[in-house]
Amino acid sequence: MRILFDTAVYDLSNKGNVAMLQAAVNRIAGLWPEASIRIIAQGSQRVRLYFPKCEGVDPYLGRVSKGRERINRLYGSIPRPALRLLMELREEVQHRRTTQPLGQPEPDPEAWRLVLKNLPYAELDGGIDLLVATGGQYMADVVKPLALGVLNRLELAIQRGIPTVMVGQGIGPIEDAELISRAQEVLPRVELILIREKKYAPTLLSSLGVQPDRVVLTGDDAIEMAFEARSPSIGQEIGVGMRVAHYTKINEDHLASIQLALSEASQRYGARLISLPISHGWYEAEVDDQVIRRLSAGQLDRRRGLNVFDSPSAIIKSVSRCRVVVTGAFHPAVFALAQGIPAVCLAKSNEYVTKFMGLADQFGPGCQVIVLDGAQSGDQLRQAIDAAWSSATQLRPQLLEAGGRQIEWGHAGYQRIFELVTSLKARRELVPSD
C-alpha cells in the first residue's frame, strides 16, 4: 500500500497543520501498518523531524540541485535531537539578520501559480494507491492558489483511477467564481471528505455538488493529541495565541486593545501569560511569536529562543498549564478545548469568524467568539476572560465530553476510508486485465 499525503502548505511551519498531519498519518498507518507513506513537504529534514517513519517528497522536485541532495543526505544522518538544535540555530541566525514585518500584503497569486506548476504531479504517475489531502482551511477564497493546487492534484489522481480522500477539512468561505467552478468540477468526485465542523461545511459542499453520503463529520484531527495530553486538573495561567496576516485582518489598533485586556487580566488573577505560537513564516507573514511578545508587554513566561521547531506536543504541553486561552489563531483554541480549557477566540476576517464559530458549535459555551468590529471589543474581551476564568472548572467536563465525542467520530471516519479503499481495490482485482 503506497499512500501520498498532500498538505497544501509544504514548509511544515504551522504546528496546527503538523498536528493534523501527524494524526492523519498515525490513523492511516494504524489501518495499513505495512504501508509506504510519503509526504509532500519542503525539506527532507523537516519531514524527518516530525515524521521519522515517512519519506518526504520535495514539492519543487524538478529544481533540487545536486548540492541540495547532498545536504539532504547529510541531514538524514544526524540524530533527531541534534537535527532539531541545528535547525533552530540556523533559524535564529536568519531571524537576527532580517526584520520580519507583521502582516505583509497578500502574496501575488500569479507568483504562487508559477510555484504550484512545479509541484510533484509525477508522484501520481509513480503508482500510489491513495492520495490523502490533509487538514486545514485552505479550500477557501483567501488562499485560492493553494486550493487550486490541491484541486488540480486531486483531479489528476481521479483521472488515473487513484482513490482520493480529504481529512480534517475546514471548507470555505468560497465566493470566488474560478474557485467555485473548479471545486464543482473536482470535489463531487472525491471519494470521502472528512470535515471538522457542521455549521458551514455541509451546506457549502452541497452547493458545490458533493453528495451528503461522501461527507463525514469528524472534528479537527488534532483534538485527539491534545485530549490525550490533558492534565488531571486545570492550570492557572493565561495562554496567548495570535496571528497577524493579510487573511486575519487583525491590525495594530486591535493589538493595542488586546494587549491592555491581557495585561489587566494577568494582574487581576495573578496569572502569567504563556506564549502559544503556532506558525513561523508561511507566506513570510505568519510570525506568531513576534506578535505574542508584543501583546505580552514583557509579561511572557517564555522567551523566543529555540521554539520554531517545537513539536505540536510541546505547544500542547504549554496549553495544559492554562486556565484560559485567548487566541486569534485557530489551533491554540483546539488544543485548549480538547483539554477541557475554555478558549476566547478573536476574529476580524470572514474566514476566521467562520472557523471559530464552527469550532464553538462543536464545543459549546466553553468556546467564546469575539468579532473585533468596534470600540467595544476591548470590553467584550475583558468580560469574556472573566467569564471563562470563573467558569473554567464547571466547563471542563462538558468540554472533555465534546472532545471525546469528536475523537470517536474521527476514528469512525478513518475506518470508512479503510473500508472504501479496500472495497475499491477488491473490485479492481476482479476486473480481468487485457
Please tell me the predicted confidence (pLDDT) of residue 380. Answer: 95
Phi, psi of 344 (to 5 degrees): -110, 115
- What is the chain's alpha carbon radius of gyration, rounded to the nearest angstrom? 21
Instruction: Give CATH superfamily name and number for 229-404.
Output: Glycogen Phosphorylase B; (3.40.50.2000)
Check: pTM over 0.85? Answer yes or no: yes
Please tell me the predicted confidence (pLDDT) of residue 330. Answer: 97
Domain boundaries, the chain: 2-223+407-430, 229-404
- Cβ-based burial of 397 (10 A; exposed 0-12, middle 13-18, buried ≥19): exposed
**Quick count: other Cβ atoms within 10 Å of Cβ 46?**
21
Concatenated DSSP letters for 146-206? HHHHHHHHHHHHHHTT--EEEEEEEE-----HHHHHHHHHHGGGSSEEEES-SSSHHHHHH
Parallel/antiparallel/unpaired status of strands 136-139 and 164-171: parallel
Residue 198's contacts (CB-CB under 8 Å, 6 or more residues apart) are: 217, 358, 361, 362
**Quick count: other Cβ atoms within 10 Å of Cβ 426?**
9
Please tell me the predicted confidence (pLDDT) of residue 290. Answer: 84
What is the third-level CATH fold of 2-223+407-430? Rossmann fold (3.40.50)
Q: Which residues partner with 324 through β-bridges?
A: 238
Contact 334, 356 (CB under 8 A): no
> Residues of the chain whose pLDDT is less than 50?
62-65, 97, 110-112, 114-120, 283-284, 303-306
Helix (H, G, I), strand (E, B) or coil at 217: strand
Q: Considering only CA atoms, which of 345, 344, 336 is closest in space to residue 400? A: 336
The C-alpha cell of 127 is what? Answer: 503508482
**CA-CA distances (angstroms) from residue 196 to 63, 163, 212, 357?**
35, 21, 15, 12
The C-alpha cell of 305 is what? Answer: 529562543
Please tell me the predicted confidence (pLDDT) of residue 118. Answer: 46
Please tell me the predicted confidence (pLDDT) of residue 9. Answer: 86
Q: How many residues does the chain have?
A: 434
Distance of alpha carbon 23 from the chain centroid: 11
Contact 372, 251 (CB under 8 A): no
The C-alpha cell of 360 is what? Answer: 464553538
Please tell me the predicted confidence (pLDDT) of residue 114. Answer: 44
Question: Number of helices and strands (H, E) in the chain?
Answer: 15, 13
Q: Do the domains 2-223+407-430 and 229-404 sit in the same CATH topology, yes or no?
A: yes
